[in-house]
Amino acid sequence: MRGLAIALGTALGFGLVGGALLTAMDRAGVSQPPSSLDVTAIVEGRLAALAHDDPRHELARVFVLGDSTSVPLPDRLQIALDAALDGRRVRVTSLVILGQTTFDQYFLSEGIARAGPDAVVIGLHLAGFSDSWRTAFPKPEFAGWLPLRRAFEALRLPLHWVGLSADEMFWYMAIVGTGQADAWRALVRAQVRVGQAARDADRWLAATVGADDQRREFHAFASFERLIAPGPRFTRTGAQSTYGPVLSGLPADHPVLETLGALVSSFSSRGIATLVAVMPANVEHLGKLGLLEGSALPRSLATIESVARRAGASFLDLHDSLPDAAFVDAAGHYRPPATFDGPGLVASRLAPAVAALLVGKPD
Cα 91 versus chain centre, distance: 21
In tens digits, the chain (363 residues) has pLDDT values of: 665 555 555 555 555 555 565 566 566 566 777 788 999 999 999 999 999 999 999 999 999 999 999 999 999 999 999 998 877 899 999 999 988 999 999 999 999 999 999 999 999 999 999 999 999 899 999 999 999 999 999 999 999 999 999 999 999 999 999 999 999 999 998 887 777 777 766 676 676 776 665 556 555 545 555 678 777 999 999 999 999 999 999 999 999 999 999 999 999 999 999 999 999 999 999 999 999 999 999 999 999 999 999 999 999 999 999 999 999 999 999 998 878 899 999 999 999 999 999 987 666
CATH tag for 31-358 (out of 1.10.260.40, 3.40.50.980, 3.40.190.10, 3.40.50.1110):
3.40.50.1110
Length of the chain: 363
pLDDT confidence of residue 214: 59
Nearest to 279 by CA among 317, 336, 323, 246: 317
Nearest to 189 by CA among 346, 2, 40: 40
Rg of the chain in Å (alpha carbons): 23
Nearest to 161 by CA among 243, 254, 90, 280: 254
Contacts of 252 (CB under 8 A, 6+ apart): 303, 306, 307
pLDDT confidence of residue 115: 97
Q: Would you say 162 and 103 are in contact if contact means Cβ atoms under 8 Å apart?
A: yes
pLDDT confidence of residue 313: 98
Contacts of 233 (CB under 8 A, 6+ apart): 282, 285, 324, 330
Domain borders along the chain are 1-30, 31-358
Report pTM: 0.89
pLDDT confidence of residue 21: 56
C-alpha–C-alpha distance, residues 258 and 338, integer Å: 39
